[in-house]
């Protein structure tokens, strides 16, 4: 409890300091934004006849600009699966139009779905690509460049510790992780995204390659993404992951529920290792890579009720049907379930 109170107090001080301005600073280009995301849900596992309430996220962020060149962001989650986590903490420099440099802690530029913030997700629970296979936030630096060659193009690339969010102080390495991403915004709402990433969670290098595309127009969103994950020295079998979904926003003209959005998703993942060595169920350098997530596919159907506009205040109603091999082991939270989630972004 003391840790939670201390973290909240520090973050409030940060927000207050960011919003305080002297008379001299008022003449400079400056803006401060305070945002929050709260996701609360109820899940009911149909086969076990068990349910639970959960606050999945309680995020607060402060971002803004000190000048036309200097931007910043700090974000903390007070309840990320019951834990306090500092997520984003970076400074971004934009010396010229289209060019930016970012230094600090942030989500690495990789994939489409794993890069979405909780309030931007279409479903109550993330895809396998976004949750298990391609979800990486790290400390490092990145460069981004946006330009137009008849179509808008956004390029991003970065170097990262590989230490994760909490192991920074005494972490030294002779190699760095990298990530690169290219987005092509085609006419009529089409997008093509290609990305690659190298990580080293333990003593084995892991290379990932991702290709995805979507169409977003006239209320429709149709998306498909494939990720290939390769472990060096044949330390573990290559992982294949796939995600596809479709949604359609239907305006109601009603003052309470503004949009009704039916959606359908299919995603798949082969046997997956997180890249760390385990012995007797614990991380141990004397162990080996093991299956942390067994091969499975999932069909998710549902409807989202948007009380304002999508991704601001949504009620998400989903049903998830899982399919395992006979030898597959279903983790407690990876089973057939009904999910009711309320997401509020402010």
pLDDT at residue 225 in the model: 98
21 within domain boundaries: no
Q: What is the pTM of this model?
A: 0.87
22 within domain boundaries: no
SS3 192: strand
20 within domain boundaries: no
268 within domain boundaries: yes
Integer Cα distance of 315 and 126 in angstroms: 16
Domains contained in the chain, number: 1
| Sequence-ordered list of residues with C-beta below 8 angstroms from that of 42, at least 6 positions apart, any chain | 51, 52, 53, 54, 339, 340, 341
pLDDT at residue 164 in the model: 65
pLDDT at residue 172 in the model: 80
CATH number at residue 101: 2.40.160.10
Taking a C-beta distance cutoff of 8 angstroms, is the pair 218, 201 a contact? no
pLDDT at residue 23 in the model: 40
Task: Using alpha carbons, select from 58, 180, 167 the residue that is nearest to residue 111.
Answer: 180
105 within domain boundaries: yes
284 within domain boundaries: yes
Range of the domain at 188: 2-15+31-345
25 within domain boundaries: no
Per-residue pLDDT 10s for the chain (346 aa) are 444 444 444 444 444 544 444 444 444 556 789 999 999 999 999 999 999 999 999 999 999 999 889 999 999 999 887 788 889 999 999 999 999 999 999 999 999 999 999 999 999 999 999 999 988 888 999 999 999 999 999 999 999 987 666 667 777 877 789 999 999 999 999 999 999 999 988 889 999 999 999 999 999 999 999 999 999 999 999 999 999 999 999 999 878 899 999 999 999 999 999 999 999 888 888 889 999 999 999 999 999 999 988 889 999 999 999 999 887 788 888 999 999 999 999 9
- Cβ atoms < 10 Å from Cβ of 280: 7
pLDDT at residue 345 in the model: 93
24 within domain boundaries: no
């Amino acid at each position: 409890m003391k840790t939670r109170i201390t973290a909240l107090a520090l973050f409030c001080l940060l927000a207050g300091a960011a919003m305080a301005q002297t008379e001299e600073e008022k003449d400079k280009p400056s803006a401060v934004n305070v945002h929050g995301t709260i996701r609360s849900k109820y899940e009911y596992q149909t086969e076990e006849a068990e349910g639970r309430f959960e606050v999945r996220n309680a995020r607060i962020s402060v971002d803004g600009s000190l000048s036309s060149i200097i931007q910043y962001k700090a974000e903390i989650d007070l309840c990320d699966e019951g834990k306090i986590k500092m997520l984003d903490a970076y400074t971004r420099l934009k010396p010229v139009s289209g060019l930016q440099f970012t230094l600090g802690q942030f989500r690495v530029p990789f994939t489409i779905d794993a890069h979405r913030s909780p309030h931007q997700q279409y479903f109550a629970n993330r895809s396998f690509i976004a949750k298990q296979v391609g979800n990486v936030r790290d400390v490092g630096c990145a460069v981004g460049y946006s330009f137009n060659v008849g179509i808008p193009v956004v390029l991003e690339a970065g170097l990262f510790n590989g230490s994760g969010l909490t192991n920074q102080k005494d972490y030294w390495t002779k190699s760095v992780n990298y990530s690169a991403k290219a987005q092509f915004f085609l006419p009529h709402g089409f997008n093509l995204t290609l990305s690659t990433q190298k990580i080293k969670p333990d003593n084995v290098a892991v290379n990932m390659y991702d290709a995805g595309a979507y169409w977003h127009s006239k209320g429709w969103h149709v998306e498909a993404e494939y990720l290939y994950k390769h472990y060096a020295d044949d330390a573990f079998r290559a992982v294949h992951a796939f995600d596809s979904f479709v949604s359609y926003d239907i305006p109601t003209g009603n003052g309470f529920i503004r949009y009704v959005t039916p959606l359908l998703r299919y995603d798949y993942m082969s046997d997956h290792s997180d890249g760390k060595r385990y012995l007797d169920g614990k991380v141990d350098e004397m162990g080996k890579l093991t299956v942390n997530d067994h091969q499975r596919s999932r069909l998710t159907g549902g409807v989202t009720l948007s009380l304002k506009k999508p991704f601001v205040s949504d009620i998400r109603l989903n049903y998830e049907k899982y399919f395992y091999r006979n030898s597959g082991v279903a983790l407690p939270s990876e089973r057939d379930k009904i999910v009711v989630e309320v997401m509020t972004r402010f």
